[in-house]
A and B are shown apart, each in its own frame.
Chain A
Amino acid sequence: MSSDDNVKRSADAAVSGGPLAGGHHGDVLALPELESFRDPETKGAKAHYDDADIYRDEKGFNDHTLRPMFFTTKKYFAFTLVLGAIMAQGFVAFLNQTYWGLGMAGLHEPVYWGAYIATFVFWVGLSHSGTIVSSILRLTGANWRRPILRAAEAMTAFSLLVAALFPLIHVGRLWRAYYMVPLPSQRMLWPNFKSPLMWDFCAINVYLTGSMTFLYIGLLPDLAVARDRAIAMGNWRRHYLKVLALGWRGSHREWSVYNKCSLFLAVIILLIAPSVHTIVSWDFAMTMTPGWHTTIFGPYFVVGAIYSGVSAVVTLMIVLRVLFNLGDVIRKFHIDALGKLLLVISIIWSYFYFCEFITTWYSHKPEEWEIFEWQAHRFPYHLWVMLGGSCLTIFCLSWRRFRACMPCMFALTLLVNCGMYIERYMIVVPILSRRDNPFMWTDYYPSLTELSIIVASFAYFIFLYAIFIKLFPIVTMADVKEGVVVSGDVRLGKHAVRVQVKE
């Protein structure tokens, strides 16, 4: 039995595509109707939601979900070209800063941590929801998780990759970055593990490794599907897909071991993720700086990170729905479920805001209250976006109609992340600019170099994501299929009830 026998199959993947996926809405593959795989007894009866609703037949489902990967439009190339241009200007700004030194950034005494560090914290925060949400939903067996896991996990990996750049950009002397690696040098100088910055370096690298592994292991069965499709189409992707799929065949033994491994990874990631943002918060909290030196910072950062990350997942899901015509895979139901999750997190987040404010206001310690006053006077609009965004989120997400409105959800989640970026900025900059003795007090404005690099980081994130979509399946196909396998309709009186089998 040769592989050639296996691979010579026709590839007919003509299903509808979004503006970046290729194809037009007109050339839809005639897929069998939903009812065709359902029990005829319950046909027409209203069943509960399940991923089975998108699963007309397996081949059609594979074609549809793999389409963003295999078919590319000119718009996609134009889009990535624009991203490339933005990244290029950021790279030029970075080279300029490296050549002339950190003076090109707006940093000066006492504000030695500025927009770079705020952006670093933002990206680390953004990385949080992906794997945390994925782990929690896997462990709790939430059925609605299935199609969205991949996109969320990829977001974690890419935002961490972007975040990891900022400490390197911030230190200026990039060529000395290896000092962080535990290599015994001539001076017998090892990394200083007593510094929270070194803990941060360890934690971020562990999280990056864990997230990448989690993403890859989750991809494994879908890589095999994509491999078979690429071979059948004679597509160039077959070369790397063959290698990365590791020879996966979908044997029962493979599935059984794979599920167990996914479970281990979900538990471990759930232990890593909160520790990472806690350690990031300790970069600040372990100093004696008023406004930073507080016990609340660990959980405060973790909740803020999840809040920011879940919002970004919603934004991303809506973008994927529209651009790649995945509306029947990433459905309004999923956005609604994520919206409810976001509502709960925004309430917890607002509670943290309240706790932070009330303790400072009531104790009225001069050095801490001065910072609050400075924030209110110097950054009033920032504060409005930051606090208003949080209150608005609770109000808006309480309404089912709002959660069902995709443009509204898109706008709100973007606003949340704007607020969260500002929140990171407000933690770093105002506190440093009102630090210690009044004669040191000063103001800080990000320079054009900093702004160029920060804008480029956003383009870099989107670019990584856009490339990922073209190289790997963006929908967690294996999980969706498993959801279909273990669910079915059962008649209960006049109704059909969707049930799910659990071992």
Chain B
Amino acid sequence: MSDHYTVLGLYRKVETITKAGDPIREAFRVKDGDIEVLTSAAYPDGAILDDKELLHQVESRQFLFPFLMGFGGFGAGVTLAGGTGYIMNLIVGGKAPFTYAPTGVVTYEFTLLFGVIGSVLSLLYYAGLPNWTERAYDPEVSDGALGLLVKLYSTEDQEKAAKMMEEHGAYKIKKGVNDF
């Protein structure tokens, strides 16, 4: 049984795809997460689709990843440089087992290292990557085509949406099943 159906319409101009998005959304009552635009460059939020609110929710949580990971890195740095000094003390030049300067330096580096890892994890988590399954896509997007991708729940709606896209200037239509 099919879960959902997709229609991908390719457009040549921003103006055309912008005009196509809203009517389709209204006609099929498409939810925010069920409609996407595929582009080869980053367009400003809301330039093509009015999905600012959804993205704002994502962005407001995305910073938590590097932030929390940074905290973890801080703990790891203190444990590694300071903690191991206590557990397995190596006497060097009369220095105390826990010394501030080395612990500070190592902790700083580890905090940032974990921050880097957190940033990458935030990208992977919120962008849904990696995803090597076959998904609705057309390589023409790489060459400048603008793709409007809609997720629908019946074949009738899929047909109607494809027709609407054509009417609104799509030069190529692709239909798929369970590949949003």
Residues of A within 8 A of B (CB): 1-3, 5-7, 9, 57-59, 62, 182, 184, 188-190, 192-195, 198-199, 202-203, 206, 209-210, 213, 217, 221, 224-225, 228-229, 231-232, 242-243, 246-261, 264-265, 268-269, 271-272, 275, 279, 478, 481-482, 484-486, 501, 503
Contacts and interface: CB of A to CB of B under 8 A. Distances in A.
Given A206-B110, A246-B129, A485-B42, A198 B123 contact: no
Interface string B115-148: 1111110111011111111111111111110000
A289 B63 CA distance: 44
A1 B8 contact: yes
A192 B42 contact: no
Given A6-B137, A256-B58, A268-B119, 9 more contacts: A6-B138, A182-B80, A189-B90, A206-B109, A206-B110, A213-B116, A213-B117, A221-B40, A247-B132
Contacts of B59: 256-257, 260
A150 to B, nearest CB: 15
A254 B38 CA distance: 9
24 contacts: A6-B138, A193-B80, A193-B81, A194-B92, A194-B95, A194-B102, A199-B105, A202-B105, A210-B112, A213-B120, A217-B119, A217-B123, A221-B40, A225-B40, A247-B129, A249-B38, A249-B135, A252-B45, A252-B49, A253-B55, A255-B39, A257-B62, A261-B62, A264-B63
B84 A190 contact: yes
B99 interface: yes
A6 B139 contact: yes
A39 to B, nearest CB: 13
Nearest to A192: B90
Tell me the interface secondary structure of chain A in the complex.
helix
B72 interface: no
B170 interface: no
Given A189-B88, A256-B55, A478 B42 contact: yes
A298 to B, nearest CB: 12
B113 interface: yes
Nearest to A210: B116
Interface string B37-49: 1111111110011
A179 B108 CA distance: 22
Interface residues of B, number: 74
Nearest to A242: B132
Nearest to B80: A182
A237 to B, nearest CB: 14
A66 B41 CA distance: 16
B51 interface: yes
Given A249-B38, A279-B105, A58 B123 contact: no
A410 to B, nearest CB: 32
Contacts, number: 210
A312 to B, nearest CB: 24
A229 B44 CA distance: 26
Contacts of A3: 134, 137
A6 B147 CA distance: 13
Nearest to B149: A251
A272 B70 CA distance: 13
B179 A268 contact: no
B24 interface: no
Given A2-B134, A194-B92, A260-B62, A250 B141 contact: yes
A484 B102 CA distance: 47
B4 interface: no
B95 A275 contact: no
Contacts of A259: 42
Contacts of B6: 1
Contacts of B169: none
Given A59-B143, A250-B38, A275-B109, A195 B62 contact: no
A304 B106 CA distance: 24
Interface string B78-108: 0011001100101011010001001101101
B139 A188 contact: no
A214 B149 CA distance: 30
B9 interface: no
B179 A246 contact: no
Contact of A251 (B37, B113, B134): B37
A253 B58 contact: yes
A255 B43 contact: yes
Given A188-B88, A195-B92, A265 B135 contact: no
A145 to B, nearest CB: 15
A252 B140 CA distance: 16
A182 B120 contact: no
Between B40, B51, B99, the greatest number of chain A beta carbons within 10 A of the residue's beta carbon is seen for B40
Contact of A252 (B55, B108, B138): B55
B29 interface: no
B25 interface: no
A126 to B, nearest CB: 20
Given A1-B174, A210-B113, A478-B41, A261 B122 contact: yes
B143 A1 contact: no
A9 B10 CA distance: 16
Given A57-B144, A261-B123, A272-B109, A254 B129 contact: yes
A238 to B, nearest CB: 11
A265 B116 contact: yes
A261 B38 contact: no
B105 A272 contact: no
Contacts of B137: 1, 3, 6, 249
Nearest to B7: A1
Contacts of A193: 80-81, 84-85, 102-103, 106
A58 B144 contact: yes
